Amino acid sequence: MGMFSRRKFLTTAGLSTVSAIALNACSGGGEAPKTTDATTKASPDATATSTPKVSAADAPETTKAKLGFIALTDSAPLIIAKEKGLFEKYGMKDVEVLKQASWGTTRDNIVLGSEAGGIDGAHILSPMPYLIAEGKITNGNKVPMYILARLNTNGQAMSIANEFKELKITLKSDTLKDSFAKIKSGGKEVKCAVTFPGGNHDLWMRYWLASNGIDPNTDVSTIVVPPPQMVANMKAGNMQAFCVGEPWNARLVAQNVGYTAFITGEFWKDHPEKAFTMRGDWVDKNPKATKAILAAVLEAQIWCEKAENKEEMCKIIGADKWLKVPPAEILGRLQGKVDYGDGRTLDNPDLAMKFWKDNASYPYKSHDLWFVTEDMRWGYFDADTDAKKLVDKVNREDIWKEAAKMIGEEAAIPKSTSRGIETFFDGVKFDPENPSEYLKGLKIKKA
């Protein structure tokens, strides 16, 4: 992969079988398994109705689309839109929601497109559409991409192996740097697992390490493991820490394999997380179908946000064909109830994953600007990248606004494309009006 071969991401060589399989999945394309028809049809409180809300003038150009998802709680809006008949409600009766083995597989299938056996869009790490659009993770092949919505805020965590439990590692840790240095001086590698180079979890991991005085480029080795493989790899002793979305941190604690250092709502409250993206050529060719799909996704996000729907949501997405996780292991953290696994607990719904509340669905350009700036920080984008121009090209908040109006949620449209100055756990602030100043002020960086 061009630029990543020069980076310190480990290859599968030298890792145990379980890690090798996980890492290999990141680069393999593979055919996504076909999803069967929805088994959980609309319940009485569901948002779908038997009468389509699509006028003849708004009839979609096609009723077909293939959308990818990774087995994570934040893929719920796509799964619920499928299971609750919301795609059909807006005239998209042939939408398929297909499980992807890794973010690398998602990338490969997006590059292929559905006409070549791939997918048209996906639940995705927010920086990935930018990296794909610029050819940074596709061997120079620039595939135009659009971000249509944010799927959620919050809901990720940093997990640590049990061997560090007595050190009580949290957001700010005096012992983290010394303990990692001690392992390295003993001739062993310190491995921190993330889900994709330049993706959300890589950036959370790098920011956290750097904030604690650790250079992620020189002091540790960053390895790539698909989300569903994280727990097995920690159990096999393949890493000291990992950052991933739920329910995999909760599963780690449930299996007593490690503990949670912090949840990402504590790291950066209401931070942007996954996005809903589609290929630019598909959107340009099918603008009405795009709006219909997005309307269904937004309506699913509203459904997922309601407290009374959380248990049913967990039962639906926990099924074998979706996440293949016991619903009880998804529900707790979704409600803001966190067992860190080291004696600490938390009950704070305001730090939990949000799908709609507090503008969680709106794709703020200011948030995408932070993602691009951080990818510049670590060398995934060139230091002279025009971040604002790139965000304006990929972020299609205009389509989000149209879809919101379509479902009667015009009042949910924010007044600004910027959420303003963001503050992180260490007191550092990101002003989207001056990203270069933010970048300049960071001590540990590659750029």
Digit-coded pLDDT (tens) for 333-376: 999 999 999 999 999 999 999 999 999 999 999 999 999 999 99
Q: For the whole model, what pTM was predicted?
A: 0.89
pLDDT bucket at 212, cuts 50 / 70 / 90:
very high
The backbone torsions φ and ψ at residue 327, rounded to the nearest 5 degrees and listed phi first, read -50, -35
Q: How far apart are CA 89 and CA 80, in angstroms?
A: 13
Q: How far apart are CA 212 and CA 424, in angstroms?
A: 13
More confident residue, 314 or 50: 314
Q: Tell me how far the alpha carbon of residue 83 is from its chain's centroid.
A: 21
pLDDT at residue number 53 = 56
pLDDT bucket at 45, cuts 50 / 70 / 90:
very low
Q: What is the DSSP string of 205-228?
A: HHHHHHHTT--TTTTSEEEE--GG
Instruction: Give the mean pLDDT of 432-438.
Output: 97
In this structure, the dihedral spanned by the alpha carbons of residues 354, 355, 359 and 362, taken in order and rounded to 10 degrees, is: 140
Share of the chain above pLDDT 90, in %: 86
Lowest mean pLDDT across 28-37, 220-229, 271-280: 28-37
Which residue's entry shows tokens 């299609």?
396
Q: What is the average pLDDT score of the chain?
A: 90
Q: Which two tokens stand for residue 325?
A: 């996780």
The dihedral built from the CA positions of residue 80, 406, 115 and 64, taken in this order, carries a sign that is: positive
Q: Which amino acid is at 95?
A: V
pLDDT at residue number 57 = 77
Flag whether pLDDT at 46 surpasses 60. no
